[in-house]
A and B are shown apart, each in its own frame.
Chain A
Amino acid sequence: KNQVEQSPQSLIILEGKNCTLQCNYTVSPFSNLRWYKQDTGRGPVSLTIMTFSENTKSNGRYTATLDADTKQSSLHITASQLSDSASYICVVGILTGGGNKLTFGTGTQLKVEL
Chain B
Amino acid sequence: DAGITQSPRHKVTETGTPVTLRCHQTENHRYMYWYRQDPGHGLRLIHYSYGVKDTDKGEVSDGYSVSRSKTEDFLLTLESATSSQTSVYFCAISEAGQLMNTEAFFGQGTRLTVV
A residues in contact (CB < 8 Å) with B? 4, 31-32, 41-46, 49, 51, 89, 91, 93, 98-107
Contact = CB atoms under 8 A, between A and B. Distances in A.
Interface residues of B, number: 23
Contacts of A100: 97-101
Contact of A43 (B1, B40, B98, B100): B1
B42 A104 contact: yes
Interface stretch (B65-73, B76-84, B105-113): B105-113
Nearest to A4: B42
A99 B101 CA distance: 10
B29 interface: no
Contact of A42 (B45, B105, B109): B109
The dominant DSSP class at the A interface is strand
Contacts of B90: 43-44
Contacts of B100: 99-100
A98 B54 CA distance: 14
Given A43-B109, A91-B42, A93-B101, 16 more contacts: A41-B108, A42-B1, A42-B108, A43-B4, A45-B106, A49-B103, A51-B101, A89-B42, A89-B43, A93-B99, A98-B98, A100-B100, A102-B99, A102-B104, A103-B42, A107-B42
